[in-house]
Structure 1
Amino acid sequence: MPEEYVRRLQFKGFAYECRVVENPAPRTEPIVLLGGSFQDMYAFRRLEKPWTELATVITVDLPGSGAADDLPAEYGFDFLAEVLGDLLDQLELTSVNLFAASYGVPIGYRLTQRRPERVKRLMLAGASMEYPAECRTALRAMVDSLAAGDISSAYGRVTVEALMAHPDRPVRKRAVTARLLAATMSAVTEADVPRHVAILERVLATPGLPPGGIPDVPALCFTGEYDTFSTPDRVREVAATIQHGQFALIRESDHLPNLERGKEFSQLVADWFTDRPIDTHDFLTEIEHPAADRVPVGAAH
């Protein structure tokens, strides 16, 4: 079994934690994983065996998540990107494979944009340049359900409605995933409510990903083909801002492919971070290169 340990760190008065699963003979750079809004550093544990066989794997509870300190909503994604940079410094990680999902995307994007030399390869799951009105309405409904104190039923229901495709879509394990998500969110305690509200308010307050794009870092931007929260077009738009960005969709899944198609999701992460080809996977749509495929203004004249 790989050696595993947890470190508790401090940044500007906030404690945060990371879990490190050591690989003594890695075949690629350390893999750092940032989960979604309500995931902790153990969220990908059932999927990580293919990753730990290839590299040292580091999962993180940044301030406001998991075992870390609470983080007021006024501390935005820029601050969380600083914390992530502090983690790389404290662990003396000069170059990493960085994975970020959903809520983690603005953190990973900002870190890569500011310190591209520290990121060897990048994966962004469920990314959006900005959240449009319908997404903000769904997030506001989640906040309102918490404010109303109706956690046991309404919060779980509105979370499923916000993040998952309609039941008529052919999403694998949709019913099971919906029940799991609803049960998890309905189990939130009153003590957890301020943290959940802070996370949601942080997302609602952010104007979107910073302008300027990302140069010189190979990146794969992906989501499920039926994602209604970070729709395929929005994810493709993010890929177009990355010089070496690629884009693909996981078939028969939505915003939660890690739950609906866990085996395939895990394989995709392992392959991308070891430069293995991904264009032969039948669970993916055709690989696109949005930045390279854009026609420059005036090029047609």
Structure 2
Amino acid sequence: MVSGERVFEVVHRGFRALGRVQAHPSPSAGPVLLVGGAMQRKEGWGRFEGVLRRESTVVTVDLPGWGGAEVLPARYGIGFLADCLAAVLRAAEVGAVDAFGGSYGSAVAYRLAQRHPQLLRRIALFGALGRIPHGMHGRMAETIGHLRAGRRDRFAGEVLAAMLNQDPSIRLARRGAVERILYTVFHGIGPTEAEQYEQNTLRLLAPGPFDPFPPPAGPVLFGVGEHDSFTTVRHCREFAASCPGAPFVRLRDADHPVHLRCPDELAGLLQRFFRGETLESVPGCHPVEYPALTR
């Protein structure tokens, strides 16, 4: 076990979740919570987490339906997961946190900010979605079919085709490495992880819009990889517009898995935001925007 690491279990309404605290011995910034997307495990944040740990205690989670936790049936919604995450944070005993939510995790982190604002200081949401974008419904439903039929090659290939930009003419940081990492993860999932994937995907395919109102009371940052073809720049900019005054940034040379494409640049951006510093001229980012809501 890594020095300063604590792993613990929380049971929320009969479902088990796991928390992991990587304690910094003398932090110069507040604690940071990381909430990830599909198949993200609490131990699997890699270099991105390592950069954040240079100045902060970091909390990672396996919520029901993730990693070492059990399957969560799709009928349990995002609000249930947010309440479960709140229980994990209380058990972590680190005080109010700055939070990063990526992809699927962005919806959970957003609901946490709506329902349990006292647990958060600032929140950053990248590749934000409350439901799978409409144009991706058919493709994501097909991935479940491949998984049920045992076609692991097709399953992993289709997931990557949906989540990663396939245009060979654009520049993507760590293109080959990221594709190999994600293909290995999705191709190698076991029976429990396959059930987790199916139920989590069905949850995000459920009918009905994700209601972003009322927006969180605390500061919110929205961001996206400039080449994200899954949760597109337009989609994420529209989500950002629901939070008046929230800054919106595009990361260069990145698509959907921003923490894998550009871990140093993303961590540096978050550290600035969490400290309340200016987001102008951040390395690896396009100029900050402040989208206006049109209703």
Q: Does 1:61 align with 2:82?
A: no
Query: Which segment drifts farther, 231-240 or 199-208?
Result: 199-208
Counterpart of 2:247 in 1: which secondary structure?
strand
Partner of 1:142: 143
1:14-51 deviation digits (Å, cap 9, x = unpaired): 11111101124333332111011110101213322332
**CA positional deviation for 1:84:** 1.0
Partner of 1:285: 286
Moved over 4 A (4+): none
Residues 24 and 36 from structure 1, CA distance in 2 versus in 1: closer, same or farther, beyond 3 angstroms? same
Contact 1:216/1:243, CA 8 A, preserved across alignment: no
Contact 1:128/1:235, CA 8 A, preserved across alignment: yes
Q: Which amino acid aligns with 2:164?
A: M
Counterpart of 2:155 in 1: which secondary structure?
helix
Partner of 1:156: 156
Query: Which segment drifts farther, 258-267 or 59-68?
Result: 258-267
Q: Matches of 1:281 and 1:101 in 2, distance apart?
A: 19
Q: Matches of 2:288 and 2:42 in 1, distance apart?
A: 30
Partner of 1:231: 232
Partner of 1:200: 201
1:70-100 deviation digits (Å, cap 9, x = unpaired): 2112112111011011122333454210111
TM-score, L = length of structure 2: 0.92
Counterpart of 2:122 in 1: which secondary structure?
strand
Q: Does 1:264 align with 2:270?
A: no
TM-score, L = length of structure 1: 0.90
Contact 1:216/1:244, CA 8 A, preserved across alignment: no
Q: Matches of 2:193 and 2:91 in 1, distance apart?
A: 29
Partner of 2:100: 99
Q: Matches of 2:192 and 2:55 in 1, distance apart?
A: 39
Query: Which segment drifts farther, 124-133 or 221-230?
Result: 124-133
Runs of 5+ unmatched residues, structure 1 = none
Partner of 2:87: 86
Count matched residues.
293
Q: Matches of 1:267 and 1:282 in 2, distance apart?
A: 8
Contact 1:163/1:228, CA 8 A, preserved across alignment: yes
What percent identity do the matched residue pairs reach?
29
1:165-224 deviation digits (Å, cap 9, x = unpaired): 123222122232222212221112344322221111111116343241314311111111
Residues 258 and 75 from structure 1, CA distance in 2 versus in 1: closer, same or farther, beyond 3 angstroms? same
**CA positional deviation for 1:277:** 2.8
Residues 9 and 206 from structure 1, CA distance in 2 versus in 1: closer, same or farther, beyond 3 angstroms? farther
**CA positional deviation for 1:111:** 1.1
Q: Matches of 1:178 and 1:38 in 2, distance apart?
A: 15
Contact 1:236/1:247, CA 8 A, preserved across alignment: yes
Q: Matches of 2:192 and 2:125 in 1, distance apart?
A: 31
Contact 1:5/1:21, CA 8 A, preserved across alignment: yes
Residues 206 and 275 from structure 1, CA distance in 2 versus in 1: closer, same or farther, beyond 3 angstroms? farther
1:93-124 deviation digits (Å, cap 9, x = unpaired): 54210111101111111110122233211000
Q: Matches of 1:294 and 1:14 in 2, distance apart?
A: 38
Counterpart of 1:228 in 2: which secondary structure?
coil
Equivalent residues in 2 for 1:65-76 (5 A)? 65-76=66-77
Contact 1:225/1:251, CA 8 A, preserved across alignment: yes
Q: Matches of 1:16 and 1:215 in 2, distance apart?
A: 24
Partner of 1:51: 52
Contact 1:33/1:100, CA 8 A, preserved across alignment: yes
Q: Matches of 2:12 and 2:284 in 1, distance apart?
A: 40
Runs of 5+ unmatched residues, structure 2 = none
